[in-house]
Amino acid sequence: MPDQDISLIAHLMRRAGFSAPLEELQARAAKGYDATVDELLDPESQPPMERDIMMRYKADWLAQAGLEGQQEEWTFRMINSKRPLQEKIALFWHCVLVTGHAKCEYPKQQSMELDMFRTVGMGSFHELLKGLSKDPAMVFYLDNCMSHAGAINENWGRELLELFSLGVGMDGEFNYSEDDVKAAARAFTGWTVTNSIPRYPYGKYEAKFMYDPRDHDNDDKTFLGETGNFNGEDIVDIIVRQPATARFVARHLYNFFVADEPQVPAWKDSPPIDASAIKELEDEYFRSNYNITAMLRVLFKSDWFKAATFAKIKSPAETVVGTLKLVGDFKFPRPGLDMMTMNIRFMGQDLLNPPTVEGWHTGREWIDSGTLVERINFTADQVGNLNHSGVKNIINRVGSIGPVLTADQLIDACLENLGSYQLHQETRNQLVEMASGEGEIRSDAEGFPLQVATMLQSIVATTEYLFA
């Protein structure tokens, strides 16, 4: 029988982090589930990344001047951070509050945005939206710097409502009108950025947010039924009070941390799959003054979270980072991480460069016959590599069961080491047949490491392993 404490911690770490090898799960289980949740929710209690080590070996990470370098650095952080939820929440907000490299004047700007997600992203959603409205990467990405009094550019005003806060609609009703979009855009006129010049001789500077009162539309605006000479802050103040915003944040948290929901464009007409869970999160949103950590505490300690094992398809970032953590590679910024990081892109998630401002579609839409091939090939290559310390550890642990293993023992031990995975009976039968076909399974045999590795490869190629 799988150890219940270990499998629950494995579930928590897949969601609140990027999975963990068995020895870490055992250590966390010894501290207890609630204590682990509290620790994850208090990232400051754990040491930060050792920047001096990173910069010493990867000086280019300091410059943050190109997409691949940024992706590589972020992947390194996701693998090695002692504050896994901080990196997970950065990924969460990056998937919701989207900017893209394809339209970023100075790439470092997106890294600065991620730093905001790491800190403010676990605090008040109110503060986060205010920060986002002034984030130079966003101001440029959605053209608010091109929106002027008397000549608005609606891009930011529209996406703020549609994709970053209210959502198109809920319970079958629209949450805002085209007039609200225009009013929001007018309220944000004058919210712009400084030029990131001079470019030479020192390279680019970061752009800074700048409010230009001369370019602000000072006429009255009517927004979501309220009228006044609104500025951008007023729009955000009105937005965060809306029940639709509570619903939107709750549903996104649920979709990312608990179970796959229908895709965002369907939310107007498709009810949540667990209405009472969403209600609990909405209530906490208002009770806690829009506090994300408070909502996550409710979420991770709820029975519905604990019951939602394997209810989500892993994202490419979760797949690649989780696999590299499992096999124990890249604990140090050695060369080769750049190519490894590209696998996240090949599986359909080009970090910092989502396909549209809507971000990525999730759930089963991660999987098509192209991305499935990428995912299986990558994961099987890693767990089949006998040189990886993590794979050696797994082989040793599996071998420690005894001199002779049954096929079931081999499979169960591999499943536990991969994170307490469970297989459907039909899948299990196939693997039992494969393992039994090799004769007696002896842990002292020369071919034992390869036998374990082949079993790991076969398990990570199953449909079950696509889930988290």
Partner 1 sequence: MTSTKKDPVLVVLQLAGGNDGLNTVVPYGNPKYFDQRPNVFVPQDQVLPINDEIGFNPNMGPVKRLYDEGHVAVIQGVGYPTGSRSHFRSMDIWHTCEPQKVGDEGWLGRVIRDLDPTQENVLTAVNFGRGLPRALVAPGVPVASVGNLETYGVLTGIDDTDQRLKALDVFSKVYSPMIGQGPVMDYLAHTGLDALKGADILSAAPEMYSSTVEYGGDTVSQYMRNIAQTHLAGFGTRVLYTTAPFNSFDTHAGQMANHTKLWRETSRAIGDFYDDLKEHNAGENVMLLVFTEFGRRVHDNGSGTDHGAGGHCFIIGDQVKGGLYGEYPSLDDNKLDEGDLQFNTDFRSVYSTILEKWMGLDAKPIVNGEFEQLAFV
Q: Does residue 217 bind partner 1 (CB under 8 A)?
A: no
> How many CA atoms are closer than 13 Å to the CA of 247, on its beta-carbon side?
20
Of the candidates 177, 194, 289, 356, which one interacts with partner 1 according to CB under 8 A? 356
Beta bridge partners of 313: 467
- State residue 133 phi and psi, 5-degree precision: -65, -25
Phi, psi (degrees; rounded to nearest 5) at 333 = -75, 65
Query: Do residues 65 and 108 touch, judged by C-beta distance below 8 A?
Result: yes
Smallest distance, Å, CB 211 to partner 1?
19
- Single out the residue of 119, 355, 397, 442 in contact with partner 1 (rule: CB under 8 A): 355
Q: Is the dihedral of CA 110, 112, 114, 120 positive or negative?
A: negative
Residue the block writes with tokens 């002779």: 404
With CB under 8 A as the contact rule, which of the stretches 14-22, 67-75, 237-245, 371-379 interacts with partner 1?
371-379
- Number of residues forming the site for partner 1 (CB under 8 A): 61
Q: Among the candidate windows 65-73, 202-210, 293-301, 423-431, which touches partner 1 by CB under 8 A?
A: 423-431
266 counts as binding partner 1 under rule CB under 8 A: yes
Provide the residue type at 237 as one letter. D
Applying the rule CB under 8 A, the residues between 42 and 101 that interact with partner 1 are 100
Element of type H or E holding 441: strand 441-442
C-alpha triplet 287, 289, 293: angle, nearest 5°: 90
Minimum CB separation of residue 164 from partner 1 in Å reads 13
Q: In this chain, which of 431, 441, 456, 468 binds partner 1, going by CB under 8 A? A: 431
Q: Which is nearer to partner 1, 49 or 342 (CB)?
A: 342
Stretch that binds partner 1, among 114-122, 127-135, 264-272, 280-288 (CB under 8 A): 264-272
Tell which one of 353, 362, 417, 443 touches partner 1 (CB under 8 A): 353
Using the minimum distance from each CB to partner 1, give the nearer residue, 44 or 368: 368
Instruction: Let me know: does 90 contact 128? Beta carbons within 8 Å.
Output: no
Stretch that binds partner 1, among 13-21, 37-45, 122-130, 419-427 (CB under 8 A): 419-427
Q: Return contacts of 255-258, CB within 8 angstroms, 24+ apart.
A: 255/362, 256/92, 256/95, 256/362, 257/15, 257/16, 257/92, 257/296, 257/299, 257/300, 257/305, 258/15, 258/299, 258/304, 258/305, 258/308, 258/311, 258/312
Nearer to partner 1 among residue 302 and residue 371 (C-beta): 371
Binding mask 374-393 for partner 1 (x = CB under 8 A): x-xx--xx--x---------
Our finding on whether 124 is near partner 1 (CB under 8 A) is no
152's tokens = 């608005």
Give the per-residue contact string, 268-297, with partner 1 (x = CB under 8 A; - = no).
xxx---------------------------
- CB-wise, 293 or 427, nearer to partner 1? 427
Piece in contact with partner 1 (CB under 8 A), picked from 274-282, 288-296, 358-366, 399-407: 358-366
Our finding on whether 154 is near partner 1 (CB under 8 A) is yes
Residue holding tokens 């869970």? 277
Query: Of the two residues 283 and 358, which places its CB atom closer to partner 1 in the complex?
Result: 358
Judged by CB under 8 A, the stretch of 149-157, 231-239, 294-302, 388-396 that binds partner 1 is 149-157
Least distance (Å) between residue 121 CB and partner 1: 24
Q: Give the Cα separation of 82 and 397 in Å (integer).
A: 24
322 scored as a contact of partner 1 (CB under 8 A): no
What stretch of H or E contains 187? helix 178-187
Residue closer to partner 1 by CB (options 338, 374) is 374
> Using the rule CB under 8 A, is 396 a contact of partner 1?
no
| Residue type at position 202 | Y
Of 238 and 466, which CB lies nearer to partner 1 in the complex structure? 466
Cα first-last separation, the chain: 20
Q: How far is the CB of 85 from partner 1 (least distance, A)?
A: 27
Nearest by Cα to 136 from 192, 52, 212, 67: 192
Q: What is the DSSP letter of 352?
A: T
Instruction: Report the nearest approach of partner 1 to the CB of residue 348 (Å).
Output: 5
Which letter does DSSP use for residue 401 in this model? T
Sign of the alpha-carbon dihedral angle for 138, 141, 142, 147:
positive
Give the Å distances, CA to CA, from 61 to 64, 73, 103, 360: 5, 6, 20, 25
Question: Which residues form the interface with partner 1 (CB under 8 A)?
Answer: 100, 102-103, 143, 146-148, 151, 153-155, 158, 162, 168, 178, 260, 265-266, 268-270, 313, 345-348, 353, 355-358, 361, 363-365, 367-374, 376-377, 380-381, 384, 424, 426-427, 430-431, 434, 454, 457-458, 461-463, 466
